[in-house]
Amino acid sequence: MLYQINAHTDAQANQETKGGALKNSLRCERKMLVDTNAASKDFDVFNGDADGICALHQLRLHESRDATLITGAKRDIDLLTRFQSGPGDRLTILDISLDANIRPLREHLSAGAMVSYFDHHNAAQAFEHEHLQLFCDTAADVCTSILVNRYLGEKYAHWAVVAAYGDNLQHVARQMAQQLGMSPAQCGQLHELGTLINYNAYGESVEDLHFHPAALYQAVHIYTDPFDFINTATEFAVLRKAYAEDMLALQGISATWQAEACAIYILPAKAWARRVSGILANQLSVQDPGKSFAVLTARSDASYVVSVRSGQPDTHSASQFCSRFVSGGGRRSAAGINQLAASEVEYFTRCFAAYFEQVPSFITQTTS
């Protein structure tokens, strides 16, 4: 479903259509929030994954702004509650669910902020407002960076390819890359870059991450060409090494519950597991297309964070399933639950099987 709400004036609309260590980075962000909340009139609010970073990178290559960066780990979606805005402030919001942020969004608009919102998650509560410009497309083959790429007339399309790979839209990414005349080797490089930026976003908190997403964005933003980042950026080398080490820990991991059309994996309460949970879910969906998967990763409080990938997103939406649970949501092909109590795992398994398999009696338990 496509939403496009442009509530700016006609003159504005016409003009727009023409147109490192983690601790150090944390201190940097905290300083930015303290120093700029009183004076800055620009806020860039974005998901810390590949899609959010690449979407903002495209926009700021097109139009530079001295903005306060508001971001976090991938599951940090309460970003609009972390700052206050006032009359005339400009908010750019990227790749975070509108439905999950409806109250703070309305508060910012009521305060007089001007909001540009790009997203591909469910937006059932989308609304019109004179200060809101909303671009939302929930189609399974779209990510936020692709929306921004369209908005900018494909001006920085290479970065949209990176984001599509990171968001596990591999077929879409390959098509876009081919249209740009890329070789298979170049596609492989952008695939790796998208995977690594996305990998960096997964964790229970930013302390699990190798780079704070704000710091990684700033490192990426130095480069117009993604291949230059790959060839020269220290951050790329660090993430490549860390990713390889974490993926080694996955060897021997097998499904805890499985059926003909779906399977569930459970990972331990380890930082490496929290970092690779989404990557594992993506890899499983690529290796066995048409099959649905859930990856449950234990949190420090004994609950679980859940990543779900639907093998049949047109008929069995992952977001529709996850929305049945408190803190659940996402998009048709990929969704999640931020906090699933340990006491709910058995219930989750029954619901998952009933929804994706439709024959619950087929479920079998396996041992590694």
Domain for residue 251, yes or no?
A: no
Q: Are 86 and 185 found together in one domain?
A: yes
Q: Are 169 and 309 found together in one domain?
A: no
> pLDDT (tens digit, 9 = 90+) per residue, 73-126?
998 889 999 999 999 999 999 999 999 899 999 999 999 999 999 999 888 898
Which of 221, 245, 269 represents a domain boundary (last residue)? Answer: 245
pLDDT of residue 77: 83
Q: Are 240 and 264 found together in one domain?
A: no
3-class secondary structure for the chain?
CEEEEECCCHHHHHHHHHCCCHHHHHHHHHHHHHHHCCCCCEEEEECCCHHHHHHHHHHHHHCCCCCEEECCCCCCCCHHHCCCCCCCCEEEEECCCCHHHHHHHHHHHHCCCEEEEEECCCCCCCCCCCCEEEEEECCCCCCHHHHHHHHCCCCCHHHHHHHHHHCCCHHHHHHHHHHCCCCHHHHHHHHHHHHHHHHHHCCCCHHHCCCCHHHHHHHHCCCCCHHHHHHHCHHHHHHHHHHHHHHHCCCCCCCCEECCCEEEEEECCCHHHHHHHHHHHHHHHHHCCCCEEEEEEECCCCCEEEEEECCCCCCCCHHHHHCCCCCEEECCCEEEEEEECHHHHHHHHHHHHHHHCCCHHHCEECCC
Q: Are 315 and 225 found together in one domain?
A: no
Q: Are 117 and 165 found together in one domain?
A: yes
- If one counts the domains in the chain, the total is 2
Mean pLDDT score of the chain, rounded to an integer?
Answer: 88
Q: Whole domain around residue 267: which residue ranges?
A: 257-365
pTM above 0.85, yes or no: no
Domain for residue 291, yes or no?
A: yes
Which of 245, 275, 292 represents a domain boundary (last residue)? Answer: 245
What is the full per-residue pLDDT of the chain (368 aa) written as tens digits? 444 444 333 333 333 333 333 433 333 343 334 344 455 589 999 999 999 999 999 999 999 999 999 999 998 889 999 999 999 999 999 999 999 899 999 999 999 999 999 999 888 898 999 999 999 998 989 999 999 999 999 999 999 999 999 999 999 999 999 999 999 999 999 999 999 999 999 999 999 999 999 999 999 999 999 999 999 999 999 999 999 999 999 988 999 999 999 999 999 999 999 999 999 999 999 999 999 999 999 999 999 999 999 999 999 999 999 999 999 988 889 999 999 999 999 999 999 999 998 744 434 444 33
Q: Are 310 and 357 found together in one domain?
A: yes
What CATH number did the domain enclosing 294 receive? 3.10.310.40
Domain for residue 337, yes or no?
A: yes
What CATH number did the domain enclosing 187 receive? 3.90.1640
Q: Are 221 and 289 found together in one domain?
A: no
Q: Are 281 and 309 found together in one domain?
A: yes
Q: Are 134 and 224 found together in one domain?
A: yes
